[in-house]
């Protein structure tokens, strides 16, 4: 994702909805909220395009890693066969090729993991941005109704700068509406906080899980190799005894 897009989206996500509503209220207009909505929608489209590109890259890197890892495993088995047949020259050439494939496999793996983390972050940003968009659209309608109600009841809206000011005009209906808006904005902020914490934990767990899986796979291969060596040694010993 381009740094400029990343920064714009973070700014939109972290926007103070209370301040946005108060700003609209002080201007006695929802135009400031409309502008925020337009910015979110534009950047949401750009984010989805970028996420699709990165998601495609993740799939490509994963496929490349699996191809090279599979080829390396086959080549490793072939080298053992060549050594047992006494074809050391071919085994040496195959070993050099194996080293290259293993290196490429590891590079593709690391790139895959890095892009996967980036992809998950972008998906999370999309969810957060969509949540912000839904919330502000809802509050836009509530605030518009509140402004119209205040005008109808001859409240001097020119002197009102925030929801706190409006809740103190002495009208029960207006106070109730402002309290409802404030409560919903607080809930939206709380949801954003929870989503941020949850994603950080999920990304960390996904990366850690992939590393553990790789370590176990290496250990499994080593143990199976040792077991095969022991069986070969045992078979060799029995053959010598029979010959004696």
Q: Is 40 exposed, middle or buried (CB count within 10 Å of its CB: 0-12, 13-18, 19+)? A: buried
Q: What pLDDT score does 141 carry? A: 85
Name every residue whose Cβ is closer than 8 Å to that of residue 133 and which is 6 or more positions away in sequence.
37, 40, 41, 44
User: Whole-model pTM?
Assistant: 0.63
Tell me how far the alpha carbon of residue 192 is from its chain's centroid. Answer: 15
Dump the DSSP string for 99-122: HHHHHHHHHHHHHHHHHHHHHHHH
Supply the pLDDT for residue 4.
82
- Tell me what pLDDT residue 29 has: 83
Token pair for 160: 């009102």
- List the chain domain ranges: 19-232
What is the mean pLDDT, run by run of 10 residues, along the chain of 244 residues?
Answer: 76 85 83 91 92 92 93 89 85 89 93 92 89 87 79 58 66 72 72 65 59 62 68 56 45
pLDDT at 241: 47
Asked if residue 105 lies in contact with residue 72, where contact means CB atoms within 8 angstroms, the answer is yes
Q: Write down the pLDDT at residue 207.
A: 55
């Amino acid at each position: 994702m381009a740094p400029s897009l990343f920064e714009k989206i973070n700014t939109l996500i972290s926007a103070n909805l209370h301040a946005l509503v108060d700003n609209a209220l002080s201007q006695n207009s929802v135009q400031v909220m409309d502008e925020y909505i337009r910015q979110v929608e534009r950047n949401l489209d750009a984010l989805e395009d970028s996420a699709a590109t990165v998601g495609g890259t993740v799939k490509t890197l994963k496929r490349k890693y699996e191809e090279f890892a599979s080829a390396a495993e086959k080549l490793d088995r072939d080298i053992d066969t060549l050594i047992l047949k006494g074809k050391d020259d071919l085994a040496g050439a195959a070993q050099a090729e194996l080293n290259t494939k293993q290196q490429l496999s590891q590079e593709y793996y690391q790139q895959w993991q890095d892009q996967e983390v980036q992809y998950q972050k972008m998906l999370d940003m999309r969810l957060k941005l969509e949540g912000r968009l839904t919330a502000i659209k809802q509050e836009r309608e509530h605030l518009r109704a509140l402004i119209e109600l205040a005008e109808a009841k001859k409240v001097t809206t020119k002197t009102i700068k925030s929801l706190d000011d409006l809740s103190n005009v002495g009208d029960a209906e207006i106070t109730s509406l402002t309290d409802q808006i404030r409560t919903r904005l607080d809930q939206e902020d709380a949801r954003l906080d929870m989503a941020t914490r949850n994603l950080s934990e999920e990304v960390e767990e996904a990366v850690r899980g992939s590393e553990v899986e790789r370590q176990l796979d290496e250990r499994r291969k080593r143990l199976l190799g040792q077991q095969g060596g022991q069986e070969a040694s045992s078979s060799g010993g029995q053959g010598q005894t029979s010959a004696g």
